Chain A
Amino acid sequence: MATATLPETPDLTLDGLLATPQGHALLSCIQCGTCAGTCPHGDVMRYTPRRLIGMLREGFIEEVLASSDLLSCVTCYDCWDKCPRGLHLTDVLLPVVKEQVLLRLPQVPSELQGALSNTMRYGNPMGESPRKRAAWADSAAVPVPILRDLGRPVDVLWIVECYAAYYPRGQDNARATARVLAALGVDFAILGTEEKCAGECARLVGEKGLFDTLREQNMATLGKYEFASLLTSDPHAFDAFAFLYPSLGLTQPVQHTTPFVAARLDALRPRMTRELGYRVTYHDSCVLGRHNHMHDEPRRILEAIPGVSLVEMAHNRDNTLCCGGGGGGMWLDTFYKEKGHGRLSDRRVEEAAATGADVLAVSCPYEVPRFEDSLKVLGYDDRIVVRDVMELVAEALDG
């Protein structure tokens, strides 16, 4: 089982990458094809990681870089996890190659272009007003303090992130998380309008310059305040703060909301008094699950909720199926459709439906829109609903 890492990519170029020990190790690939076989788009990609490394070794890399094929990589960490040589594929090779692809693309797919431009200008991929970033808190059932207004240090600085802050169903997750934090008596605050996207998905789609810019801006903001730890609702932001922001001086630890709450279940259990009566199947997200191996924590929470019975999908834990939203996939649906790729979220929803569950539980804000769309497309929306684990916890809370 691979251990979660996200080494800094050393240089914009492949030569720079290959000059590093971890980059040079890529050349020791044994061409076994495990990566291609496990890749969710391996059946439709021309340049799977195996072939990419083969072409890199034989000097044909420009052919790969001149193609848009690598945009099909949704950075699901499956090749990284399964590689028998332990090569840094998802975390190092693919972002560097995708960066070179992005630099050469005659036309970046319009949805992706819009999301990247919006993230640069507004700090969120939707292009929403930065001034409205904390508007969801107005309808929260508990006070959600803004750190700037609080005027004192806090234990937990909660990075809500873009989809939980702006996307209407994501806001349900944000409001639920606020209720759960209040029920636990956590001393928390948010950045409000000062928060910007952590940038990890921009990096994974090859926009390292955008990631670097956001990281610098966010570090400047974080540097203004005192807090003991970071908490985030977004696994992608978790990865960014855990592995990449420390190199710019972030010293505080970061947790994702799911393991944070799982560690406090004893305090929460007496408050969860409502019987939900749901048959729930849990989807392990690629980043929280496969990359960080946090599989037990969400299941412990779900099993602690009164009236919840847990059933497993055929692919679970490190063998989870990708929702298709990572690495820029959130903004490449039209591109994939034009390429003839099937929707990865459809495959996952088919598995969820096969369990007979009436709730598909998730821990990543990207998955709510992706799975809800697939449920509608496949006609399961009258049988299954998608709920973030925090939404289920909040629903079970007394008053």
Chain B
Amino acid sequence: MKILVLMKMVPDIVEELEVAGDGSSLDPEYLRFIVNERDDYALEQSLLLKDRLGATVTVVALEAPEIDDVLHTALAKGADRAIRVSGVDVMAGTRAKAAALAATLPGVPGVLPADLVLSGCQAIDDLDGFVGPLLSSAIGLPYLGLVSRIKVDPAAGTAVVAKEYAGGVMGRFEVTLPAFLGVQGCEKPPRYVPIAKVRAAIAAGGIEAVPAASGPAVTPLAVGAMAKPVAAGHAEMLEGSVRDVAERLADVLAARGLI
């Protein structure tokens, strides 16, 4: 069984995001990138399937700052191949990234066809989760997103997955493989790999570098403006003695008709 996992980097919101001078993009000077959390769950799911079924796991990621750390960590965790696709702007939009992967993946030896393609179902820069649907359509695979708890029956060539709906309703789907699944969560958190193993993976090399292939031109979505939220109001802090605060609080609640 062959599993392909797609991972990408997104802005790390531990650092405060700043809007660039053009008013429609993030200022790259203050940006730091981190692996998309859902993609990390997709990798964990693939490694769990490998543990159980003996699959081979190939991880593919677009070039970005610190992406080698992510790929070496994936190798240290147990992935069999790690491929870095270069030549795509890290700030490119969802359509452009999906198109670049669609043009590139078929030409990389041994990557496609895969029995299962996994990626995160969404990202903080792709909240609608379009990468999966766009890419699966381009490479001719059925797509099911927002799934968790993937169980594969290799003999039957099927996978059974759970999909969460509003109101706590869970659906159970049987998917015929090959398929592309957008992973929402995993049965356990991503595993920790000791840094000694990551250092060993770095020392061993092992990341394959592949230039992005050119494909049909895509029209990116145009960002009209980008701005930080503006506070519409502020909390009123009640200060003074307990009695003063209690009386003031009673006045505030009474003024709003709450008592």
> Which A residues are closer than 8 A to B by beta carbons?
12, 99, 102-103, 105, 107-108, 110, 113, 116-117, 120-122, 127-129, 131, 206-210, 212-213
Contacts and interface: CB of A to CB of B under 8 A. Distances in A.
B195 interface: yes
A108 B195 contact: no
Interface in B121-164: none
Interface stretch (B82-90, B185-193, B204-212): B185-193
A121 B33 CA distance: 11
Interface of B: 14-16, 34, 188-189, 191-192, 194-199
A207 B15 contact: no
A121 B69 CA distance: 10
The 4 closest A-B pairs by CB, nearest first: A209-B196, A209-B195, A108-B192, A210-B195
A102 B194 contact: yes
Contacts, number: 46
B192 A128 contact: no
A4 B16 CA distance: 43
Given A107-B189, A116-B192, A131 B197 contact: no
A207 B195 contact: yes
Contacts of B189: 107, 110, 113
Interface centre among B14, B189, B196, B197 (most CB of A within 10 A): B196
Given A129-B15, A131-B15, A209-B199, A107 B194 contact: no
B21 to A, nearest CB: 20
24 contacts: A12-B196, A99-B194, A99-B196, A103-B194, A105-B192, A107-B191, A108-B191, A113-B189, A113-B192, A116-B195, A117-B192, A122-B14, A128-B14, A129-B14, A129-B15, A131-B15, A209-B194, A209-B195, A209-B199, A210-B194, A210-B195, A212-B195, A212-B199, A213-B199
Contacts of A116: 192, 195
Main secondary structure of the interface of A (DSSP, over half): helix
A9 to B, nearest CB: 11
Contacts of A102: 194
Contacts of A209: 194-199
Contacts of A12: 196
The CB with the most chain A CB atoms within 10 A, among B34, B188, B189, is that of: B189
A127 B192 CA distance: 16
B131 to A, nearest CB: 24
Given A122-B14, A129-B14, A210-B194, 5 more contacts: A99-B194, A108-B191, A120-B195, A207-B194, A212-B196
Name the residue among B15, B195, B197, B199 with the largest chain A CB count within 10 angstroms.
B195
A352 B184 CA distance: 49
A107 B14 contact: no
A209 B195 CA distance: 5
A99 B197 CA distance: 11
A12 B195 CA distance: 12
A12 B16 CA distance: 39
A213 B16 CA distance: 26
Nearest to A210: B195
Nearest to A103: B194
Contacts of A108: 191-192
A117 B190 CA distance: 12
B31 to A, nearest CB: 12
Nearest to B14: A129
Contacts of A213: 195, 199
Contacts of A212: 195-196, 199
A206 B196 CA distance: 10
Nearest to A108: B192
A118 B191 CA distance: 14
Contacts of B15: 129, 131
A127 B14 CA distance: 8
Contacts of A117: 192
A113 B199 CA distance: 17
Nearest to B199: A209
A103 B195 CA distance: 10
Contacts of B198: 209
B64 to A, nearest CB: 15
